[in-house]
C-alpha cells in the first residue's frame, strides 16, 4: 500500500471503530464481538505507530470509552480516567517493555491483576462517606450515577479503618456469571454478555431496576495521593478501607516470564473465575516510575492490558481459490493475510460453497471477521463493506475442473459442485491426503508434494499401493535423501495395524468424519458388518441420520470400493478393535515442559486426555505431575518450589502404556 492508501485505510478504520464503539459504550449494544472490535483497534494502533504523521486528535486510539449520556448529570473530574492499550502476545509485551526501558532505564517488577470485563467507575468519599459515583464517560467528563452505585452492596457507603478525609478511588462495576445466568434465565431475548448488562444496569434511570440486578464492584486504584509508593500498596490500602478487591488473585511478578506463567494459568482457569475476565492488567509496580513514564495518547505508558488470545480477529481476504477434495467437491477457500488467532497463524478459511460467498457478500480484497473454535477449520463470519476501496473483485465460480477440465456437476438439492471424473488427478491427491492424514492412517513425513510426485511417477495409483513402496522406489526421485526415504517407508509399514475407527475414517466415505467413524466402530466389529447393515440399523446409531446412512449404503454398493478393501487386505493392512476407553489417568492433572524424545507434545497431550487426564500449561499446587523433557523451562523450578511431583519421559511412557 502506498501512503495515500494507508491514510485512507486509517480514516475508514476510524469511522468503523467509532461506529461500533458508540454502540458498545454508549448504547450498550453490539453488532460485532468485542474481540473483532479489539482486532480492528489493534490494526489502527499498529498503523498509527508506523505512520505517526497520520495520527489525529480525534482518532479512537486517542479517546477513551464513550460520550456521557444526555440524561445524566455530568461530572467533570480533575484527573482524566485513562484506559489501557491492548497486547495479545509475548511479542507485544516485549515491545512494550523495550519502549519503556528506552525512555527510562530502570529495574522494576510488574503488578498483575485479572482484567474484569465490566464498566469502569470512580467513587469519591468525603470524611469516609460516599458522596459521588460516576462512569468513565469520555475520561474527563463522566455521568453521575451515584444513586445507582449506592445499590451495589459491595461498595461501602462508609469507609473502615484509617481512611483519609478526602479519597478518590477507581474500579469496575461487574455482574457475576451466576447473577448473569439468573437474570437471563427468564428473558425471552437474553443479554449478550455480562459486561453490557452491568453497563446497562449502572446507567439505568431508575435505581430500583439497578437494585434488582445484584451488581458487584471491585476497586483497583487510588487517585488521591496518600504517599503510596507501589501499586501493590494501593491494593492493601483499598482492602483496609473496606473495598472489595481482587487482591487474592493478584500477583507481583519479577519479570515477563513470571507474567506469562500467570497469564497461561489464568487462561486455563478463566472458566472457574466468578466474573468474566478477558486478560490481565499488567502495571509497573513502582508508582514513581509509573508516573515518570507518563501518558501516550489515551493510555498511561506504565500499564497495559494483556488480553487472552482471540477466538476471532479481522483480516483481509487476498484471494479465493478452489480446492478439489477427495470426493471431487469444489470448495472455495479464502486466502487470508496471515493473522494470529488463539496462538495459531491462520492463512486460509473455508467458504464451503458459492452460496456462502453470496450470503456473506464477500469480494476478494475485503476486510472480514474470521473465527476459529477449537480445531475446527477457520470460517469467515462477517464482511466489512465499509472498508472497501473500490478495487475489490467479485468471485466467479468456475464451471470446469481446474485439474482435469471435466464439466462440473451439481446434484439436485445440493449446493456443492463436483468433478465427476474418478480418475481426476487433484481428486486422487485429495484421496491420498485424506488416507495419510492424522485421523486416518496417520503416516508421518508424506506431504502433498511427495504424494503428487509418487502419483506422477506412477509409483502408486490408489492409497493401498503405499504399503508396497520400497526405499529403492523413491530414492531416485529428486528431493529424497536416503535417510528420509528410509524413514518414510518405516512410517508406512508401522501403520499396517490400525484401530478400526481410523480404518473406517480412512476409507473416505462421504459425510463420515472422525466422530461418526468412532460411533460405527463401537457398534460393528468388521467392515463387512457395516457394508451389510441396513439403513434402519445405521440410523439407530446416535449421530447418524438419513444423509450419512445414504452415503454409507451408496459407498458399500460400489464395486471399486470392494476392490479397494481387498487391496488393503492383500497388502497386509489389518484393523483391530479398540478397547473401551481406559480411565487410568482419570482426574490427574499434568503439565509438560521441555522437549520429549519419543513423543511430540501434541501426542503426549492426546494420550493423557484419551486416558481421562487433563493437561494444563502452567504449574500450580493443584497439578499432580510435571512431565520433564530435555531443556525444561522455569516450570521445573516452580514445580520443585511447590512440591509438585516431577517425572521424566521414561516414567511418563510407562504410565501411559
Closest to Zn ion by CB, 109 or 421: 421
CA-to-CA distance for 444 and 437, rounded, in angstroms?
A: 8
Smallest gap from Cβ 416 to Zn ion, in A, equals 14
Closest to Zn ion by CB, 444 or 452: 452
Closest to Zn ion by CB, 146 or 406: 406
**C-alpha dist (Å) from residue 494 to 37, 544, 600, 614, 650:** 48, 32, 17, 28, 21
Residues facing residue 162 across a β-bridge? none
Q: Can you say how many angstroms the Cα of residue 393 is from the centroid of all Cα atoms in its chain? A: 30
Closest to Zn ion by CB, 428 or 638: 428
Please enumerate in sequence order all residues whose Cβ is within 8 A of that of 263, keeping only pairs 6 or more positions apart, or say none: 279, 280, 306
Smallest gap from Cβ 550 to Zn ion, in A, equals 24
Would you say 383 and 366 are in contact if contact means Cβ atoms under 8 Å apart? yes
Residues facing residue 208 across a β-bridge? none
Active site residues: 115
Residue whose C-alpha cell is 503439565:
591
Grid coordinates representing 597?
Answer: 524424545
Closest to Zn ion by CB, 219 or 424: 424
Smallest gap from Cβ 324 to Zn ion, in A, equals 6
CA-to-CA distance for 488 and 566, rounded, in angstroms?
A: 24
Smallest gap from Cβ 401 to Zn ion, in A, equals 3
Residue whose C-alpha cell is 471435466:
406
Burial class of residue 532, CB neighbours in 10 A (0-12, 13-18, 19+): exposed
Closest to Zn ion by CB, 421 or 634: 421
Smallest gap from Cβ 329 to Zn ion, in A, equals 11
CA-to-CA distance for 657 and 544, rounded, in angstroms?
A: 33
Which residues here bind Zn ion, judged by CB under 5 A?
Answer: 401, 403-404, 406, 419, 421, 424
Smallest gap from Cβ 459 to Zn ion, in A, equals 21
Would you say 239 and 247 are in contact if contact means Cβ atoms under 8 Å apart? yes
Tell me the residue ranges of DSSP E strands in 449-525: 497-499
Burial class of residue 556, CB neighbours in 10 A (0-12, 13-18, 19+): middle
Amino acid at each position: 500500500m502506498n501512503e495515500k492508501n494507508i491514510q485512507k485505510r486509517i480514516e475508514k478504520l476510524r469511522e468503523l471503530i467509532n461506529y461500533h464503539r458508540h454502540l458498545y459504550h454508549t448504547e450498550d449494544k453490539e453488532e460485532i464481538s468485542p474481540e473483532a472490535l479489539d482486532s480492528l483497534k489493534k490494526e489502527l494502533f499498529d498503523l498509527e505507530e508506523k505512520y505517526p504523521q497520520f495520527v489525529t486528535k480525534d482518532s479512537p486510539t486517542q479517546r477513551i470509552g464513550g460520550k456521557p449520556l444526555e440524561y445524566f448529570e455530568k461530572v467533570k473530574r480533575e484527573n482524566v480516567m485513562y484506559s489501557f492499550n491492548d497486547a495479545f502476545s509475548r511479542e507485544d509485551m516485549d515491545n512494550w517493555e523495550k519502549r519503556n526501558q528506552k525512555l527510562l532505564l530502570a529495574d522494576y517488577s510488574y503488578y498483575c491483576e485479572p482484567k474484569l470485563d465490566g464498566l469502569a467507575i470512580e467513587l469519591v468519599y468525603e470524611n469516609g462517606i460516599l458522596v459521588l459515583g460516576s462512569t468513565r464517560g469520555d475520561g474527563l467528563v463522566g455521568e453521575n450515577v451515584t444513586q445507582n452505585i449506592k445499590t451495589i452492596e459491595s461498595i461501602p457507603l462508609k469507609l473502615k479503618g484509617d481512611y483519609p478525609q478526602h479519597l478518590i478511588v477507581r474500579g469496575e462495576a461487574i455482574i457475576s456469571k451466576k447473577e448473569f445466568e439468573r437474570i437471563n434465565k427468564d428473558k425471552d431475548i437474553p443479554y449478550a454478555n455480562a459486561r453490557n448488562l452491568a453497563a446497562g444496569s449502572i446507567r439505568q434511570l431508575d435505581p430500583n431496576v439497578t437494585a434488582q440486578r445484584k451488581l458487584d464492584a471491585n476497586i483497583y486504584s487510588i487517585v488521591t495521593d496518600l504517599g503510596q509508593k507501589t501499586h501493590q500498596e494501593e491494593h492493601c490500602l483499598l482492602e483496609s478501607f473496606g473495598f472489595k478487591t481482587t487482591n487474592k488473585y493478584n500477583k507481583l511478578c519479577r519479570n515477563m516470564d513470571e507474567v506469562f506463567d500467570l497469564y497461561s494459568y489464568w487462561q486455563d482457569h478463566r472458566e472457574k473465575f466468578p466474573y468474566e475476565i478477558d486478560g490481565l492488567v499488567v502495571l509497573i509496580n513502582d508508582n514513581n516510575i509509573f508516573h515518570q513514564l507518563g501518558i501516550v495518547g489515551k493510555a498511561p505508558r506504565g500499564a497495559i492490558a494483556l488480553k487472552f488470545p482471540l477466538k476471532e480477529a479481522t483480516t483481509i481476504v487476498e484471494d479465493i481459490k478452489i480446492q478439489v477434495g477427495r470426493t471431487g467437491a469444489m470448495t472455495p477457500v479464502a486466502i487470508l493475510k496471515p493473522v494470529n488467532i488463539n496462538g495459531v497463524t491462520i492463512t486460509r478459511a473455508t467458504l464451503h460453497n458459492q452460496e456462502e460467498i453470496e450470503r456473506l457478500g464477500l469480494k476478494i480484497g475485503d476486510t472480514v471477521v474470521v473465527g476459529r473454535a477449537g480445531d475446527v477449520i477457520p470460517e469467515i463470519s462477517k464482511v466489512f463493506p465499509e472498508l472497501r476501496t473500490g478495487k475489490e473483485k467479485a468471485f466467479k465460480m468456475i464451471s470446469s475442473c481446474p485439474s482435469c477440465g471435466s464439466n462440473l456437476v451439481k446434484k439436485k438439492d445440493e449446493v456443492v459442485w463436483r468433478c465427476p471424473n474418478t480418475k481426476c488427478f487433484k481428486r486422487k491427491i485429495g484421496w491420498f491426503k485424506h488416507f495419510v492424514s492424522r485421523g486416518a492412517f496417520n503416516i508421518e513425513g508424506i506431504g502433498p508434494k511427495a504424494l503428487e510426485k509418487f502419483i506422477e511417477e506412477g509409483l502408486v495409483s490408489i492409497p493401498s499401493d503405499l504399503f508396497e513402496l520400497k526405499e529403492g522406489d523413491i530414492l531416485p526421485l529428486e528431493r529424497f535423501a536416503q535417510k528420509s526415504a528410509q524413514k518414510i517407508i518405516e512410517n508406512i509399514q508401522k501403520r499396517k495395524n490400525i484401530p478400526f475407527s481410523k480404518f473406517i475414517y480412512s476409507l473416505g466415505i462421504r459425510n463420515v468424519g472422525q466422530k461418526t467413524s468412532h460411533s460405527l466402530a463401537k457398534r460393528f466389529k468388521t467392515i463387512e458388518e457395516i457394508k451389510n447393515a441396513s439403513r434402519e440399523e445405521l440410523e439407530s446409531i446416535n449421530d447418524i441420520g438419513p444423509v450419512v446412512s445414504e452415503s454409507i449404503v451408496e459407498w458399500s454398493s460400489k464395486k471399486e470400493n470392494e476392490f479397494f478393501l481387498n487391496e488393503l487386505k492383500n497388502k497386509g493392512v489389518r484393523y483391530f478393535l479398540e478397547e473401551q476407553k481406559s480411565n487410568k489417568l482419570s482426574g490427574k492433572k499434568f503439565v509438560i515442559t521441555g522437549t520429549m524424545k519419543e513423543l511430540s507434545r501434541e501426542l503426549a497431550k492426546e494420550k493423557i486426555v484419551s486416558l481421562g487426564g487433563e493437561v494444563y500449561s502452567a504449574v500450580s499446587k493443584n497439578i499432580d505431575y510435571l512431565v520433564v523433557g530435555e531443556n525444561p523451562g522455569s516450570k521445573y523450578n516452580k514445580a520443585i518450589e511447590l512440591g509438585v511431583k516431577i517425572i521424566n519421559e521414561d516414567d511418563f511412557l510407562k504410565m501411559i502404556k
